Amino acid sequence: MKSATTLLGVSLKMYFTHRQSIEWCGSVAELAGPFGDRLPEGVELFVMPSFVSLPGAAAQLENSTIRLGAQDLHWEDYGAFTGEVSPVELRDIGCSYVEVGHAERRGIFGESDKIVADKTAAALRNGLTPVLCIGEPLEGEPEAAIAECTRQLNSALDGQFELISKGAPRLVIAYEPVWAIGAATPASEGHIRTVCDALRSWLHDRGIESATNIIYGGSAGPGLLSRLGPSVDGLFLGRFAHDTESLAAIIAEAAALNEFPG
């Protein structure tokens, strides 16, 4: 069953300077009004600037209902891990969400399935909602994508099903076909719907569907949400949402769909 809330997330990756990130967060906060009263009912938004910009972003967002997230975390809470960032620290500075297992982390930085599983567990035990990124590396038939995505889910969530079923924190699955990230266009609507419907059935069979949101990422932009229908609970946005006018259009699109579901 599709969630009653449309969930939108934005990652800034490493595109902005610190000053640009803070200014962007300020502009996004204005979209929601001083106390979130202009963020449409049934729409939730989280944003993920770089680590160094998180405290400044938190200050910009504190009078809005927009949630703060981080782009990564370490799998241990404390220790001698130079250059890493603890999930405890992320929670302490106001993060609600944290991205885990993005294709760039897996591909460029060599994160294994075990690392992704350990980071997912670290997020959950510290009350952070993991945005668990999954996706097939090469374009192909939906059946192959489903097999690879469920394999990744089985690995990442091993031993966590009982905790997730309690719904605090929730789990977010970001379906991001690797071949669609940074592409000119997203995956086809039919492909996305088929894969995400199968993922929802997989979650249902394991008793965690009601505690999980499924969102699509990979060259997602304005207009896509309307075409995907109830197969997804929202979108994970990148470069298209770096322009706040485009983000505002996607928020309005989500609000319209909630008001007039079709």
Active site residue 176: yes
Taking domain 6-259, whether its CATH number is 3.20.20.70 is answered by: yes
Residue pair 133/102 in contact (Cβ under 8 Å)? The answer is yes
Domain ranges of the chain: 6-259
238 vs 28: CA distance, rounded Å? 14
Active site residue 102: yes
pLDDT of residue 250: 96
Per-residue pLDDT of 186-224, as tens digits, reads 999 999 999 999 999 999 999 999 999 999 999 999 999
Measured CA to CA in angstroms, residue 182 lies from 68, 102, 156 at distances of 23, 13, 24
Per-residue pLDDT of 137-187, as tens digits, reads 999 999 999 999 999 999 999 999 999 999 999 999 999 999 999 999 999
Does the pLDDT at position 107 exceed 60? yes
Backbone angles phi, psi at 45, to 5 degrees: -130, 135
pLDDT of residue 246: 94
Cα dihedral 3/93/221/23 (nearest 10): 140
Residues 6+ apart with CB under 8 A from 61: 25, 28, 29, 47, 67, 68
Q: Look up the pTM and report it.
A: 0.96
Residue from 102, 111, 148, 253 carrying the catalytic annotation:
102
pLDDT of residue 31: 86
Does the pLDDT at position 132 exceed 70? yes
3-class state of residue 41 by DSSP:
coil
